[in-house]
Structure 1
């Protein structure tokens, strides 16, 4: 029994020492960001028409959308950068159910929404003005992006790792220990493009003025370093 107790105590002491050794590390978070001017915009253009009959509403809508698409083609937008996302026809009801009034259909509304990528921002305002003048009466959104974000993401990752490494060095120096090898690196959520100072204003006449601002590609990492001594 004494021999068994001795080996059991030795096992516990060894396990405890191993656990403490594994706990000798420094964990830090680092962030990196790179700013750049966007070189692409995505538009959400809608055409909404109304008529007494569903077929008439859709016919008028199709004609207006065809004019918008023709204008986009004339402005050099490639077919691969144009996509119809939503197409609908819905009745227009009169009367209010909460008042127990008789409801009836008084007409129909047709809607078609097209998403467009503009790869030449120098002509963005001109394109917006052209499609609005040809019948696009619902501008649902405008966002800016980068056609090739990966080089910026790679630079942001390098900056994030450098930021985390510097923090670990400072912590080790403050604690009076020696910083060892990297045990692990984790990236949180991947590279994230974030808009900076982007805005758009509608004009009464002429081209629509657009300010694309900047896009910041941000990366966050978590790193674990070994304490060498």
Structure 2
């Protein structure tokens, strides 16, 4: 075979090998670049956010017991006895075992400080804390009062959340798409063009901003539950949408 014909025969093979290797090349799943699109139009990248509001239906908080004694063993024993009452009250309130998790057990010496002398150990402090999830926020005030009554001397929270977020996030997505579409139509009209199609959509994370502590949560009332106000959570979705504009 003549050399010139041999080169022509090899070119399709080389091209096929190049395309095969290109198809197999790994790409980072985090890469979010505008895709190459063969078009005679203009590509427009629009960032849009959609939001959905929901009343929280779960609350997360932590509670526990701090005890002090002159020796470490006594501090831990006293803590275990008091914490057993707290855990029993949590279960009696109808909170499932899966929603109760030990978040910290600590034993630390307590010191006395004097001028020009090294600190001396005067006793020990034991601390046991559990994190709990309350799935009926209407009972939260009563649960808080019960925990305090059985000896819990540490209560932190609550933070409110939405248990099942899919429906709310889909609502936020729809609003984000509508916002991006309206913005693309505005740009196209301004430029004397039309929106031909959506080339790509890239979604950022949906999130629920943390809620502040409920107003008056620890304001004890005579013969009444602690006041708890769950308020409202906002869930949002961020989208990057690439449109193709044309005449």
Q: What TM-score, normalized to structure 1?
A: 0.85
User: Per-residue displacement from partner, 1:94-125 (whole Å, max 9, x unpaired)?
Assistant: 225xx541221100000011100000111110
Alignment size in residue pairs: 209
The question of whether the paired residues in 1 share the 8 Å contact of 2:99 and 2:133 is answered with yes
Q: CA RMSD in A?
A: 2.1
Identify the residue that residue 111 of structure 2 maps to in structure 1.
Answer: 93
Q: What TM-score, normalized to structure 2?
A: 0.79
> Equivalent of 1:173, from 184, 189, 197?
189
Could you say if the C-alpha distance between residues 115 and 34 of structure 1 is closer, same or farther in structure 2, counting changes exceeding 3 Å? same
The question of whether the paired residues in 2 share the 8 Å contact of 1:195 and 1:213 is answered with no
Q: Which runs of 4+ in 1 moved over 3 A?
A: 18-23, 195-198
> Equivalent of 1:164, from 180, 184, 188?
180
- Aligned ranges for residues 124-203 of structure 1 at < 5 Å? 124-188=140-204, 190-194=205-209, 199-201=214-216, 202-203=218-219
Could you say if the C-alpha distance between residues 197 and 72 of structure 1 is closer, same or farther in structure 2, counting changes exceeding 3 Å? closer
Structure 2 portions without partners, runs of 5+: 1-35
Structure 1 portions without partners, runs of 5+: 1-17
Give the deviation of 1:194 after TM superposition: 2.6
Could you say if the C-alpha distance between residues 198 and 216 of structure 1 is closer, same or farther in structure 2, counting changes exceeding 3 Å? farther
